[in-house]
A and B are shown apart, each in its own frame.
Chain A
Amino acid sequence: MSILGGVAALGRRTRTALISLGQMARFFVMLITRLGIVVKRPRLVLQQVHFIGNYSLLIIAVSGLFVGFVLGLQGYYTLNRYGSEEALGLLVALSLTRELGPVVTALLFAGRAGTSLTAEIGLMKAGEQLAAMEVMAVDPIRRVLAPRFLGGIIAMPILAAIFSMVGILGGWFVGVVLIGIDTGAFWSQMQNGVDVFNDVLNGVIKSVVFGVAVTLIALFEGWQCRPTPEGVSRATTRTVVAGSLAVLGLDFVLTALMFS
């Protein structure tokens, strides 16, 4: 009986996982088909870019700066053994544009912007505001969710680019100002090794994909949550966990596709 129960639990889990995957796919399609609101009311999207992007700027910039500092210090420690500390600029720039910029930004984005989106939508649902909109013949997906979705997709690549830039400047500060690497060698090695299309553009593509994934998960969790305080809190937690895991998984797939 207990073996049978275990098998049944496994089956139930698989079924619920499949169902929520299907629901998310349907939710994604519903969002895409309602993106026309950008043309009609661009101000809604603008407000969301402000809410999602501008308010995340501080944590993104500070994290980028410190990631750059640490890359500078740690990279110097290793490169110094081989007498090639001039390659520090290359190491910092490649790690930031290819991997750390998009990934760390997306993880912070899930924690900073994703949670607030989920909590906002969840509380709107709990307060029956979304139901009230439907009663007034206003499509809540179109009016509330689609602008947030677009705002997230627009804000994420911008944040990732700022993260990479601030990180490179942080690496430059540690390498050139504190340690004393030649500044010309630092930049010229970087420019020789970083390809605009292979490295920078692929990093931007990554950050767009992560923006879509994290914002979609955040909105979906808010939309699907139980309309109770506990339900909203669980949905917020799930946004961070599922969003971060999705970013890491997608990063592996994208890296394998782009750089191999």
Chain B
Amino acid sequence: MSNEKVDVWVGLFVLLGIVALVFLALRAGNLSSFSLADTYTVQARFENIGGLKVRAPVKSSGVVVGRVADIRFDDSTYQAVVSFDLEKSFEFPTDSSASILTSGLLGEQYIGLDAGGSEQMLVAGDAINLTQSAVVLEQLISQFLYGTAESEGAAQ
């Protein structure tokens, strides 16, 4: 086989490989959800983060506006400190509230941001003070069980 023919075929082969990798990254993987937009980091403290993980989405009104960057434990207040990157193009008032929510009954957990009414906007390094912890299913069930037992005991 002549050299040019080999070149063409190897070129096609490598091209096919690149197409396959791009397919895996964009169509099968989540590279398309990466945004290269500038971000600013905001912190929030939670009593309980449940199953929240790094790189979990931060959503406001259901739209992804950022991602969780870091989760640490503060042993002076015994709280979880969650830092998350918000896209620069979205501004939130300083009295916005952050809560840890679950998508669906058994889905992944994410941070929901509800905008407040303040005139001042959050800037990099700010902390969100209004937070709501994750709902732990076991606690919910036990509360429900004790609640029914109490009300039944009171009825008798």
Contacts and interface: CB of A to CB of B under 8 A. Distances in A.
B21 A194 contact: no
A240 B57 CA distance: 46
Nearest to B23: A165
Contacts of A204: 21
A54 B13 contact: yes
Nearest to B108: A192
B17 interface: yes
Contacts of A168: 23-24, 27-28
A200 B20 contact: no
A157 B29 contact: no
Contacts of A46: 6-7, 10
Interface stretch (B30-38, B115-123, B142-150): B30-38
- Most chain B beta-carbon neighbours within 10 Å: one of A43, A157, A165, A192: A165
A131 interface: no
Contacts of A93: 28
B6 A50 contact: yes
Provide the main secondary structure of the chain B interface.
helix
A114 interface: no
B6 A191 contact: no
Interface in B84-131: 108
A196 B29 contact: yes
Given A158-B13, A192-B30, A200 B24 contact: yes
Interface string A42-55: 01001101100110
B122 to A, nearest CB: 27
A53 B10 contact: yes
A248 B146 CA distance: 53
B13 A200 contact: no
Interface residues of B, number: 25
A204 B10 CA distance: 20
B6 A194 contact: no
Contact of B30 (A53, A155, A191): A191
Contacts of A200: 21, 24-25, 28-29
Given A46-B6, A49-B13, A53-B10, A195 B30 contact: yes
A118 interface: no
A190 B13 contact: no
Contacts of A99: none
B10 A50 contact: yes
Contacts of A166: 20
B7 to A, nearest CB: 7
B30 A54 contact: no
B6 A162 contact: no
B52 to A, nearest CB: 16
A53 B13 contact: yes
A93 B34 CA distance: 19
26 contacts: A47-B6, A50-B6, A50-B9, A54-B13, A57-B16, A93-B28, A97-B28, A158-B13, A162-B16, A162-B17, A164-B20, A164-B24, A165-B24, A166-B20, A187-B27, A190-B28, A191-B33, A192-B30, A194-B28, A194-B30, A195-B29, A195-B30, A196-B25, A200-B25, A200-B29, A204-B21
Cβ-closest 7 pairs across A and B:
A158-B17, A161-B20, A165-B20, A196-B29, A196-B31, A93-B28, A194-B29
